[in-house]
Structure 1
């Protein structure tokens, strides 16, 4: 996930959470048990408050402008939510990659498997897993390497960039391919003595 999209998602979730928290606090301050425990200097809603009494509801019914405005605002909110959801679904794994001719495509899973095989062949790598993300014009490979205990990460990264990633970039050219590499070390199993 790109940093911009990740930041937008976090801001949207923070705004929704803040709105729900403020609404919950306002509604809870109108109940008796919560009102008694609040400090005296905090603002509170009166306990006998009605949100819409008959007189206020009648005044609102006389105004003809607000129902279309509320409905339009709700429709815009639903459309923005749907667009956000579609953008989240589209930015997942790469399914197939068009190769320039009308009916010729390369499977994203096949390219990821080939890249994982080449990455696993690098000296010092015990296991490799590759996931291709993004869109056909902007590819991103998430490479997870499990290193052998005696390997050097600098040498592994240098060999990975010079061999497997360079071959993958040549295969998808003229498209750009970004590579995110995550390294972990193979754990040793402790031997039990009897």
Structure 2
């Protein structure tokens, strides 16, 4: 949900900036703008001559302006590239023994890992996410444990069984994993 909100806010900010910039360009080109717009003619300027020349003679002014604009451009590019980054791994390269390899859908491997993790004693629910590169995947597992489950026992079985099976079946030398455990909520027992 947070990613959706992030994209909506970025989209709205982009639309506002494009509209304001377009209106400033329209006013500068002599096109018609609304009557409430502060700059309405070719001779109007965004910064007056006094504002533009106020710091011109200072030695720090131009490096500060160029540095600030460079930081803004780098942040904008970083945000743009971050929108295209995938949080999940879509496919995993499996060593098939013929030298070329085979591709397995990431969602399929996630589903198998989650199913095997949920079959462990004391696990109520499991969510699995694959990350990293397709030749070197990483696993992030969230386990919701039953109230009676032993976290140490569950982690050792997860490592020895579910993750070992996934690592062996994909032909990987290592399969790094991060597990986050939470306890499921339960009502208090009543004694009569």
TM range (shorter): 0.5 to 0.7
**Matching residue of 1:86:** 81
The Cα shift of 1:163 comes to 0.1
Relative to structure 1, is the Cα distance of residues 81 and 131 closer, same or farther in structure 2, using a 3 angstrom cutoff? same
Secondary structure of 1:161's partner?
helix
Q: Which residue of 1 aligns with 2:130?
A: 132
* Inter-partner Cα distance in structure 1 for 2:142 and 2:48: 61
Other-structure match for 1:110: 108
Count of matched residue positions in the alignment of Structure 1 and Structure 2? 139
- Matches of 2:131 and 2:167, distance apart in 1: 14
> Normalization by structure 1: what TM-score?
0.55
Q: Deviations over 1:6-37 (max 9, x none)?
A: xxxxxxxxxxxxxxxxxxxxxxxxxxxxxxxx
Q: CA RMSD in A?
A: 3.8
What is residue 149 of structure 2 aligned with on the other side?
Answer: 151
Q: Distance in 2 between matches of 1:89 and 1:171?
A: 30
1:164 matched to 2:159: no
Mapping of residues 95-106 of structure 1, within 5 Å: 95-99=90-94, 104-106=102-104
Which secondary structure does the structure 2 equivalent of 1:177 belong to?
A: coil
Q: Distance in 1 between matches of 2:149 and 2:54?
A: 77
Unmatched runs of 5 consecutive residues or more in structure 1: 1-51, 62-66
Mean CA deviation greater in 133-142 or 111-120: 133-142
Aligned 8 A contact 1:126 1:145 in 2? yes
Matched residues in 2 for 1:175 and 1:136: separation?
14
Q: Counterpart of 1:47? A: none
Q: 2:126 touches 2:144 (CA, 8 Å); kept in 1?
A: yes
Bigger CA drift: 71-80 or 138-147?
71-80
Query: Cα offset for 1:58?
Result: 6.8
State the TM-score, normalizing by the size of structure 2.
0.55
8 Å contact kept, 2:95–2:170 = no
Unpaired stretches in structure 2, ≥5 consecutive residues: 1-46, 57-61
CA contact (8 A) 1:137 1:176 kept: no
> Normalized per residue, which structure has more helix?
1
Paired residues of 2:92 and 2:137 also in contact (CA < 8 A): no
Match of 1:43? none
